Structure 1
Amino acid sequence: MKTQVTVKDMVKLLEEIAPPQLADDWDNIGLMLGRSDRPVRRLLLALDMTEETVKQAVEYKADMLLTHHPAIFHKLGRITDAGWQQELLLQLAEKGVAVYSAHTNLDCVAQGVNDSLVKRLHIADDDVLDTNTGLGRIGGVEPCGLSEFAAFVKAALRADYVVVGDAGRTVKRVAVCGGAGADLAELALAKGADTLVTGDVKYHTAQQAVFSGLNIIDAGHQATEWPVLEDLADRLSLRFAEKNWNVVLKVAQETLLLRHV
């Protein structure tokens, strides 16, 4: 007979996978909404709490929504229907849907955001890029030109587009950081990378990196983080089976916020 699971049980499991102590001090992670004793039979995974993913959670009859980006980041002085974020929280509360967020702790943990990137981009013999924070990964790829590798990145991450900064170097040793990791460019260079794959790269940051000898591939914030959802879903499904938990899950379909038109 399958074991019934509560929000509290699910939180415990999620904290085993992405320990909260790994999160940055400025971050807001953990259970954002919901009663700990409520049952969880259906779980929806998403990068963000948006109108799109909340609608899917309601239609899926999810008991819990797991997001990567914090559903509540800045302190809320009130929860009304005056703002889009508050409105979505109200909708979820009214439907009894709990919300849990794992952000920077999922970024840096083993088998988290960056290890998913490593796997999708076929990076071998990888190691942690920033050993102080656990962020980023660095390793080797089959040598190729930047244009060829950028096309591979775009396809592998199902990105709408990639933006490339060409430092004139053959791609051999690649650093990655899901989301916004351009501030790791100097460290990537110091560790022997010729190319950095990340998202949200600003112009002057790219200029400094490229003129210092580092190729840049900006594949977008969402595209560099989506892979972890599929991998996390697989891991959770295995854990549910091992524990004989009566929980099913799915990954939400999310539209790219920023697209080429």
Structure 2
Amino acid sequence: MIIEELLQRLNEFAPFSQAYEWDNIGLLVGDSKREVTKVLITLDVTFKAMQKALELGANIILAHHPVIFHSLKHITDPLLLSLVENQINVISMHTNLDVAPQGTNYALATVLGLENLESLSSEQGEKWFHLSVTVPAGYTENVADAVFKAGGGRVGNYIYCSTRHPIKGTFKPLEGARPFISSKEDDKFTQVAEEELEFMVQESRLFDVVSAIKISHPYETPLLYYFPVTTPQPLFGLGMTGILPEPLTLSAILSWIKDKLGCPNPKLWTAGLPLSTSIQKIAVCGGSGSSLIRLAEQSAELYITGDVGYHNLMEAKIPIVDAGHFYTEYPVLEVLKGQLINWNLESYVLSREECEYWQNTHSYHN
């Protein structure tokens, strides 16, 4: 498999188009035409990660966080230079992985053993469009199939989604027109039995869908229109909610999280509740999740995330566990490895103990 093919498969798993506008994802260093030897999976691209890749004979680092984030005017960074010199290719799966159905937050919720998972927020990085096209009777299936093959008509976990209803169309050709349906010159206009097809289309698929319609449609000039909608695509979303198989008290939460995530020092904000309070419905967001606290308050009894500031905690109305950016995102690495196994690619997940964050972060103990 070459890198270009790997990118295509990763895009199917967590579409790059779903990344937020400010993000930087995809192939950030390398040549898409090179053959994949082995893949090192890590949260961060660091010197230790690069050295491990060299040791393993891996020519790709698949990372969550982008190694290039801000605009570059000069390439003088020693890490970037070393990656290029050693022909190590780097792929980033960042916010597109965060909002993917089986991405960062799915991995976190699964490791914690939560059940009945649902998205916490509908936040995502790509627009959704409503598209309508008028088709003459007898050509509906042909055009609809073209739309479906081009990636239109997906709603949540359903494909081939459309609405269809009969309409009556009118037209009168001008000089130079080549109408598909004949008309009489003396008539004011010609009436046609038609169907209106409607689909939902992701922004990244819109060009392909419109092109497919123009190719498959019998009319010289198909009547179609599309516009963005504010209702989000239910397939993608940030954060997750879920239910514990058995309730836990707040006093047991910290040891449970320490065991599940390998986090040595999770921090609990009780929101003024006694430690004997029973908790069962939990919201999670890997990484920095302060922006979702208000949503978590509406849908859960406890919120687990990372990088929660002092004032965010003080204002929170439900208990919050700050388990750290690193520990709440680390579980997704095993999910990525599972995908690579499905694609018959050899890979290695950089262990917590091999990560520079783990090696260089220490807590005081009496």
> Is the TM-score greater than 0.5?
yes
Pick the aligned partner of 1:174 from 282, 285, 291: 282
Query: Quick check: 24-33 or 136-145, which moved more?
Result: 136-145
Q: Does 1:16 align with 2:114?
A: no
TM-score by length of 2: 0.64
Query: Quick check: 250-259 or 21-30, which moved more?
Result: 250-259
Higher helix share goes to which structure? 1
- Per the alignment, residue 122 of structure 2 pairs with 131
CA contact (8 A) 2:269 2:319 kept: yes
CA RMSD of aligned residues (A): 1.2
Question: 1:88: how far off?
Answer: 1.0
Deviations 1:13-42 (A, max 9, x none): 111111011111111101101111111111
Whole-angstrom distance in 2 between the partners of 1:139 and 1:17:
22
Question: 1:197: how far off?
Answer: 0.3
| Secondary structure of the corresponding residue to residue 223 of structure 1 | helix
Whole-angstrom distance in 2 between the partners of 1:136 and 1:185:
10
Question: What runs of 5+ residues in structure 1 fail to find an aligned partner?
Answer: 81-85, 241-246
Q: Does 1:99 align with 2:90?
A: yes
Identity of aligned residues (%): 38
Question: 1:239: how far off?
Answer: 2.2
| Secondary structure of the corresponding residue to residue 35 of structure 2 | coil
Deviations 1:162-196 (A, max 9, x none): 011012143121000000112211111122x1100
Whole-angstrom distance in 2 between the partners of 1:178 and 1:259:
21
How is 1:136-215 mapped onto 2 (pairs within 5 angstroms)? 136-141=239-244, 142-167=246-271, 168=273, 169-191=277-299, 193-209=300-316, 212=317, 214-215=318-319
Pick the aligned partner of 1:109 from 100, 118, 134: 100
CA contact (8 A) 1:160 1:259 kept: no
Pick the aligned partner of 1:89 from 80, 89, 96: 80
Whole-angstrom distance in 1 between the partners of 2:20 and 2:26:
13
Whole-angstrom distance in 1 between the partners of 2:238 and 2:9:
22
CA contact (8 A) 2:340 2:346 kept: no
Whole-angstrom distance in 2 between the partners of 1:118 and 1:165:
20
CA contact (8 A) 2:99 2:123 kept: no
Question: 1:137: how far off?
Answer: 0.3
TM-score by length of 1: 0.89
Whole-angstrom distance in 2 between the partners of 1:258 and 1:130:
31
Q: Does 1:225 align with 2:341?
A: no
Whole-angstrom distance in 1 between the partners of 2:310 and 2:22:
25
Query: Quick check: 163-172 or 153-162, which moved more?
Result: 163-172
Whole-angstrom distance in 1 between the partners of 2:282 and 2:254:
12
The letter of the residue matching 2:239 is G
Q: Does 1:259 align with 2:259?
A: no
Whole-angstrom distance in 2 between the partners of 1:156 and 1:140:
15
- Per the alignment, residue 25 of structure 2 pairs with 29
CA contact (8 A) 2:108 2:286 kept: yes
Whole-angstrom distance in 1 between the partners of 2:313 and 2:66:
27
- List structure 1 runs of 4+ shifted beyond 6 angstroms: none
The letter of the residue matching 1:124 is E
The count of aligned residue pairs is 242
The letter of the residue matching 1:88 is L
Higher strand share goes to which structure? 2
Question: What runs of 5+ residues in structure 2 fail to find an aligned partner?
Answer: 125-236
Larger radius of gyration: 2
